[in-house]
Amino acid sequence: MKKTFEHCLWEELTKWFGLERLKVFAPLESLLQITNNLNETVGKSLEQLNGLLIDNFMDWNEDELKMQFISPLLFLVNYHDSPKYHPFSQRTLKMQTPEIELSGTIDWMLATGKQIPTKPFFFLHEYKKEKGTDNDPVGQVLAAMLTAQQLNEDTTAIVYGAYVVGKDWYFMALQGKQYAISFPYNAMEMNKLENIYNILVRVKALIQ
């Protein structure tokens, strides 16, 4: 069976790969540990982004959300400060087992390599609206994370992910056959946007 990431559903992936979704999961709790990494410059930039989101999130399409809010936020986090990993966008990943083949284009990810992504660690997918009839954001991110497990040839290593639905950010962690998803972080609330920034910075520390 062949399936693209964008058409994967979390329930079918759970059955195919024998996954278990947990309410309490130590790898996710570690990701969500908040350490304040804000300085005055970052704080002011987050305030500007927060204002933009409040004024425009109902009107932006997916590309506008990505270019005018998500991309500036990722730039603030600065994922270019380590030789151990590199951000990639719109790259294709593929995995295959005797029963199923998964493949798809990744919106954004962190992986080793500079020109060619090799070992992926963190995935980010963005969506303009709530889940529709054709797309399941959890299924799409989970499929990418399962693919990373196979590509990394290490099912014990933790893979992280996130997806954005309008104003809400959800974070995920997968280890072995267990995974968990956070409650939403509403980026329209300034304190939650600060939390999102600090979690994205935490990703760097966990990868290191």
Provide the β-strand partners of residue 102.
3, 95
| pLDDT at residue 104, as a whole number | 93
Q: Is pLDDT of 163 > 60?
A: yes
| pLDDT at residue 155, as a whole number | 79
Query: In angstroms, how far is CA 84 from the centroid of its own chain?
Result: 19
| pLDDT at residue 129, as a whole number | 58
| pLDDT at residue 114, as a whole number | 87
- Euclidean distance between CA atoms 88 and 26, whole angstroms: 27
Give first-to-last CA distance, the chain, whole Å. Answer: 36
pLDDT bin (cut points 50, 70, 90) of residue 8 is very high
> Mean pLDDT over residues 121-143, rounded?
79
Q: Is pLDDT of 26 > 50?
A: yes
Instruction: Let me know the angle formed at the C-alpha of 129 by 86 and 12, rounded to the nearest 5 degrees.
Output: 75
| pLDDT at residue 188, as a whole number | 96
Backbone φ/ψ region at 142: left (φ over 0), alpha (ψ -120 to 50), beta: alpha
Q: Is pLDDT of 153 > 90?
A: no
pLDDT bin (cut points 50, 70, 90) of residue 128 is low
Average pLDDT of the chain is: 92
Rg of the Cα trace of the chain?
16
* Of 48-52, 74-78, 153-157, 199-203, minimum mean pLDDT range: 153-157
pTM: 0.93
Going from N- to C-terminal start, the domains of the chain cover 2-207
Contact 193, 201 (CB under 8 A): no
| pLDDT at residue 43, as a whole number | 96
CATH 3.90.1570 fits 2-207, yes or no: yes
Q: Is pLDDT of 131 > 70?
A: no
- The predicted-structure confidence for 59-97, as pLDDT tens digits, reads as follows 998 889 999 999 999 999 999 988 889 999 999 999 988
- Euclidean distance between CA atoms 165 and 88, whole angstroms: 20
DSSP assignment of the chain: -EEEGGG--HHHHHHHHT-EE-SS-HHHHHHT-------HHHHHHHHHHHHHHHHHTTT--HHHHIIIIIHHHHHHH-TTS-TT-EEEEEEEEEEE-SS-EEEEEEEEEEES-SSS--SEEEEEEEESSS--SS--HHHHHHHHHHHHHHHHT-TTS-EEEEEEETTEEEEEEEETTEEEEPPPEETTSHHHHHHHHHHHHHHHHHH-
> Mean pLDDT over residues 139-158, rounded?
91
| pLDDT at residue 82, as a whole number | 86
Q: Is pLDDT of 134 > 70?
A: no
| pLDDT at residue 164, as a whole number | 94
